[in-house]
Amino acid sequence: MQYEALRNEVVETARSMLEKGLTVGTGGNVSVRCPDSNRFLITPSSLPYETLVPEDVVVVNLEDASYEGRNVPSIEYHLHRKVYLARPDVSAIVHAHPPVASVLAALRKPLPLIIDACTYAFKDEVKVAEYGKPGTIELAENTVRALGDNTGVIMANHGILCVGENLEEALGRCEVLDKAALTYILSLSIGTPVCLEPLCDQD
């Protein structure tokens, strides 16, 4: 089986996303760029993460969006494809529906850099992408635009997307975003949180 190690990483990351409470059911999706070609691997559509096996992972072509495998790819494969095309520095993507960051998504409120962990995880304030219906090119393009050169983005009335050099990094950023969102919301309930400047040495 081609890309066996990477397929395993996709499955493990999807399971971790669920176990860490960053999504429920079959929500969210995970992908990784194949290092030796213009393809990426992504979780399949509507299969439970608990029973996912490496063979279920779908291979998608970056150029023409064609795919191969025994399953159809996640509905959001356009979202992942557009991010990889726009960001050659990105090798892994986790898109999740975490409970607290979703509050910011519902309010369409960006997350400022309010704790140190945010400044290490994100280059700048995490912006909110304009709304687009799930699975659409519009959603993909809106998300790419709001992501810019940052490492995370909030998707209006939907969830979040974080990128990284590997899946561990992308998943870790989703956790930071959700926890920082909780800190932000609690801070706003008793005062005005002080925002930090971005770190300059992220490149």
Site residues (vs Zn ion, CB under 5 A): 159
CA dihedral over 49, 180, 166, 30, signed as positive or negative: positive
Tell the burial category of 125 from Cβ atoms under 10 Å away from its Cβ (0-12, 13-18, 19+). middle
Residue nearest to Zn ion (CB): 159
Residue with Cβ nearer Zn ion (73 or 159):
159
What DSSP element (H or E) covers 128?
strand 128-129
Q: Minimum distance between the CB of residue 134 and Zn ion, rounded to whole angstroms? A: 6
Q: Minimum distance between the CB of residue 114 and Zn ion, rounded to whole angstroms? A: 25
Q: Minimum distance between the CB of residue 43 and Zn ion, rounded to whole angstroms? A: 11
**Beta pairing, strands 92-96 & 29-33:** antiparallel
Residue with Cβ nearer Zn ion (17 or 113):
17
Residue with Cβ nearer Zn ion (113 or 140):
140
d(Cα 181, Cα 55) in Å, to the nearest integer? 35
d(Cα 43, Cα 47) in Å, to the nearest integer? 8
Residue with Cβ nearer Zn ion (70 or 133):
133
In a 3-state reduction of DSSP, which class is residue 160?
A: strand
Q: Minimum distance between the CB of residue 97 and Zn ion, rounded to whole angstroms? A: 6
CA dihedral over 120, 141, 20, 114, signed as positive or negative: positive
Residue with Cβ nearer Zn ion (22 or 59):
22
Q: Minimum distance between the CB of residue 109 and Zn ion, rounded to whole angstroms? A: 18
